[in-house]
Amino acid sequence: MDQIEGILIFAQESRFQVLDRNGVAHHFVLHHAAAAEPEQLPMLQRKQARVRVDFRTAPDLIAHAATAIRVLGA
């Protein structure tokens, strides 16, 4: 399982994007068993929340499969 930290800058349905500290955007799709709900993503985007995402690389998708999202302190 991989992890990344950054700012959640885009959210639409179960898809979202995180900008890491190097300025690289990473694309994610919530895994069906993720410890998060799609309804939570727009609020995190509005707040430009700093998050840690646990994910699996999904070779058949253009995005990684996010299994958990944790909001980090300021």
Q: What is the rounded distance in angstroms from the CA atom of residue 56 to the CA atom of residue 38? A: 18
What's the pLDDT score for residue 74? 59
For domain 2-71, give the CATH superfamily.
Nucleic acid-binding proteins (2.40.50.140)
Q: Is the model's pLDDT at 61 over the cut of 80?
A: no
User: Which pTM does this prediction carry?
Assistant: 0.89
Q: What is the rounded distance in angstroms from the CA atom of residue 43 to the CA atom of residue 56? A: 24
pLDDT, tens digit (0-9, with 9 covering 90-100), for 20-29: 999 999 999 9
Alpha helices in 4-71 (DSSP H): 41-46
Domain ranges of the chain: 2-71
